[in-house]
């Protein structure tokens, strides 16, 4: 899975951005996976993620916790977003103990995720890296906008919407937190980190 790999920004921002998600392997172990994915969701939701979701159903800001739990299917990909290493560690440890038989992916700064994995007794076997954006990058929005839009790996967060809410924050008609929550529903999978987005917006406004 690569949709959480393209997050951009300085280390100081990315170090507080973790995604943990579970997915069945279609054609191998999707049969009977609904209770396992539901268990995964019940575990991660205990740790108060700032966002969560299922690729097929929606996210925290769209359908909410009940809507996701009741609509998990054998093709679901269930996500949770955390903002600190300690919480990510607790969630990963409980998922490991549950031994659900599902593929579980942890996204974040490599050295932080690696350290968490060692603490909970997981030996990582695969690492995926984004190689960045290739092509005519002059057509891309500014880097500070990309820090926000790339938190949705399927490209469902509009740079125009992002610029609009930043403008509203500058005008004083919206707080950075409100701006981030305005953007969040558009990331259908629920991997967008609204807490990090609010901090980025606050930084952008203070620097301009």
Q: How confident is the model at residue 69 (pLDDT cuts 50, 70, 90)?
A: very high
Average pLDDT on 194-207 reads 97
Residues 6+ apart with CB under 8 A from 96: 120, 121, 122
Determine which helix (DSSP H) or strand (DSSP E) holds 85, and give its type and residue range.
helix 85-98
Token readout for 124 is 């990582």
CATH number 3.30.565.10 is the correct assignment for the domain at 11-119: no
Q: What is the mean pLDDT of the chain?
A: 96
pTM to 2 decimals?
A: 0.96
3-class SS of residue 79: strand
Q: Mind listing the pLDDT tens digit for each residue in 86-99? A: 999 999 999 999 99
- Sheet containing 51-54: order of strands: 58-59, 51-54, 78-82, 18-23, 103-107
> What's the mean pLDDT in 42-46?
98
Q: What is the pLDDT of residues 142-168, one digit of tens each?
A: 999 999 999 999 999 999 999 999 999
Six-digit token pair at 60? 């925290």
Can you tell me which residue has the tokens 């954006």?
133
Residue 1 has pLDDT above 90, yes or no: no
Residues of the chain with CATH 3.30.70.1110: 11-119
**What's the rounded Cα separation, in Å, for the pair 64 and 59?**
6
- From residue 29, how far is each of 25, 26, 44, 73, 114 by CA, in Å? 6, 6, 21, 13, 26
């Amino acid at each position: 899975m690569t949709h959480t790999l393209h997050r951009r920004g300085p280390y100081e921002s990315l170090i507080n951005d973790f995604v943990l998600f579970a997915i069945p392997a279609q054609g191998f172990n999707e049969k009977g996976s609904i209770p396992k994915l539901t268990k995964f969701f019940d575990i991660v939701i205990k740790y108060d993620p700032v966002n969560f979701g299922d690729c097929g159903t929606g996210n925290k800001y769209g359908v909410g916790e009940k809507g996701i739990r009741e609509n998990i299917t054998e093709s679901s990909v269930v996500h949770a977003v955390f903002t600190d290493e300690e919480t990510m560690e607790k969630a990963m440890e409980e998922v490991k103990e549950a031994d659900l038989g599902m593929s579980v992916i942890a996204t974040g700064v490599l050295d932080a995720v690696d350290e968490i994995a060692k603490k909970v007794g997981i030996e990582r076997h695969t690492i995926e890296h984004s190689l960045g954006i290739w092509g005519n990058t002059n057509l891309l929005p500014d880097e500070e906008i990309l820090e926000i839009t790339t938190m949705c790996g399927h490209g469902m967060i509009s740079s125009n919407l992002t610029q609009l809410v930043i403008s509203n924050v500058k005008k004083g008609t919206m707080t950075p937190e409100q701006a981030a929550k305005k953007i969040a529903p558009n990331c259908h999978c629920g991997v967008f980190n609204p807490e990090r987005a609010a901090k980025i917006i606050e930084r952008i406004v203070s620097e301009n």
